[in-house]
Amino acid sequence: MRTTVGIIGGGPAGLLLARLLHRAGIDCVVLESRSREYVEQRQRAGMLEQGTVDALREAGAAARLDTEGLVHHGIELRFDGERHRVDFPSLTGGRTVTIYAQTEVVKDLVALQLAEGPPLLFEAEALAVEKPESGAPVVRFRHEGRERTLTCDWVAGCDGFHGISRGVLPAGRSYTRAYPYAWLGVLAEVAPSCEELIYARSERGFALHSMRSPSVSRLYLQVPEGTDARDWPDDRVWDELAARFAVGDDWALCRGPITAKSVTPMRAFVHEPMRHGRLLLAGDAAHIVPPTGAKGLNLAVSDVRILARGLVEWHRSGESHVLDHYSELCLQRVWQATRFSDDMTRMLHTRPDGDAFDHQVQLARLRRIAASREAAAELAANYSGLPLPL
Ligand code: RFL
Ligand code: PHB
């Protein structure tokens, strides 16, 4: 097989890249190791920045997002029994965010891809990328029991944190941070108890109230690293959430049947550079952030926007100015998002070795956001999404 751009991974990064290239008349092939059912059900992100929504619109993939997405104008911070709302439009010159699950973004992109092309192969596992320094890199992959090759002009490694692409790059430099706690995430068949997301800091630990639709809630609890979800029966989850969200008024948490439960470790990772020869990494393949800032999916999309621009420029004019600066262009935004995610994580979680000093400093940070327009505006600008560097 031969194509212009070989895309490894059919998550949001790979699927959106394929769609943007297809719209620009550039052919590509997407190889996804898992089945369609698996990628469409994998529970993950829910918050889309304005720039992510715009990119999906530009890709012609926002029809359902525009009708079913929930536009949010702010978030609520809860701490010390108080609540404080951060209003995005008034602090950022009109920006909003949209709640629309990653599962739905993936379903929409897969449906378009299967209907209009370019080819998307499920259960096609990339095994290696050969000759990335040459003008014709080759992806070796396994599909329907056979080993095959895909010869490309460029290869996009969009295969997530556990993929093979990053390992093809020469050593480079990696930065990691492991946080000493994890998140227990649940999906519940109950109307959200709030109109906007609630980020709660309590002495019992962090809790987040998010949602998927007017009838489905998504909630998270900080739990110790290594927690087994089976140790958290539904009543225990609801009791702990209610205790962490408690405020001094008549707000109440609505309970309902829990349909999914999973534990996610909290870590940050950045690999530099994001390009080697004709292999370019995008999304979780190159970097991950703790989910407290809701940045992972949004960063994957901003990498892909830059990558698509570079590939379109190269295809139309033979120029590779954007591709030559791909890594620096992406990493500026990646490090800003990593910094923001780290700040939010530290401000809201209780450390197992934390003491009264840590507790007071966290509260002082939260009170500063509640009291100062400048501090709130800084949070709002980062949360709703910093501009693309081009
Ligand atoms: P993905 O989604 O991991 O997709 C990579 C795809 O590559 C496939 N693959 C291979 N295919 C072929 N050959 C191989 N050898 C392959 N190896 C792997 C995989 O099967 C997969 O389909 O990466 P991508 O596309 O870069 O997208 C990144 C996002 O998925 C991720 O950053 C977000 O989900 C992170 N995240 C959040 N991001 C946000 O922007 N907002 C949020 O609110 C948010 N909440 C979250 C999150 C992540 C979470 N977890 C579970 C880590 C909440 C949670 C709990
Ligand atoms: C989600 O809806 O899954 C979600 C929202 C905000 C976050 C993390 C996850 O910070």
199 catalytic, yes or no? yes
Using the mean position of ligand 1's atoms as its centre, give its distance from the Cα of residue 284 in Å. Answer: 6
CA distance 25 to 284: 26
| Torsion from C-alpha of 275, 276, 280, 286, nearest 10 degrees | -60
What confidence score (pLDDT) does residue 389 get?
81
Q: Phi and psi for 133 in degrees, rounded to 5?
A: -80, -15
Nearest atom within ligand 2 for CA of residue 46: 2
Active site residue 295: yes
117: left (phi over 0), alpha (psi -120 to 50) or beta: left
Q: Which helix (H) or strand (E) holds 7?
A: strand 5-8
Residue entry with tokens 């990328």: 129
Q: Which atom of ligand 1 is nearest to the CA of 43?
A: 51
Which member of 199, 271, 276, 349 is catalytic?
199
Of the listed 12, 118, 290, 291, which one is catalytic?
Answer: 291
Residue 320 C-beta-side C-alpha neighbours within 13 Å? 10
Whether 209 is a known active-site residue: answer no
Q: What is the pLDDT of residue 390?
A: 78
Ligand 1 pocket (Cβ < 6 Å) reads 8-14, 31-34, 39, 44-47, 102, 125-126, 158-160, 163-164, 183, 185, 264, 283-284, 291, 294-298, 300
Q: The whole model's pTM is what? A: 0.96
Report DSSP letters for 195-258, one per residue: SS-EEEEETTEEEEEEEEETTEEEEEEEE-TT--GGG--HHHHHHHHHHHH--SSS--PPP--E
The enclosing H or E element of 302 equals: helix 296-317
d(CA 208, CA 193): 12
Catalytic residue among 22, 276, 295, 315: 295
Cβ count near 364 (within 10 Å): 10
Instruction: Compute the distance between CA of residue 287 and CA of residue 45 in angstroms, rounded to an integer.
Output: 15
Q: Give the total residue count for the chain.
A: 390
The sheet carrying 97-99 orders its strands as: 47-49, 97-99, 70-72
Q: Which atom of ligand 1 is nearest to the CA of 220?
A: 55
pLDDT averaged per 10 residues, the chain (length 390): 97 98 97 97 92 95 97 97 96 97 97 94 98 97 98 98 96 94 98 98 97 96 97 98 94 97 97 97 98 97 98 97 97 98 98 93 97 98 92
What values do phi and psi take at 301, rounded to 5? -70, -40
72 is catalytic: yes
DSSP state of 351: P
Q: State which of 43, 47, 295 you would mutate to test the pocket of ligand 2, scoring each by most atoms of that ligand within 8 A of its C-beta.
A: 47
Ligand 2 pocket, 295 CB below 6 A? no
**Ligand 1 atom 49: residue of nearest CA:** 44
Dist. CA 300–CA 12, nearest whole Å: 7
Residue-level pLDDT at 43: 85
Task: Please state the φ and ψ torsions of residue 146, each to the nearest 5 degrees.
Answer: -120, 150
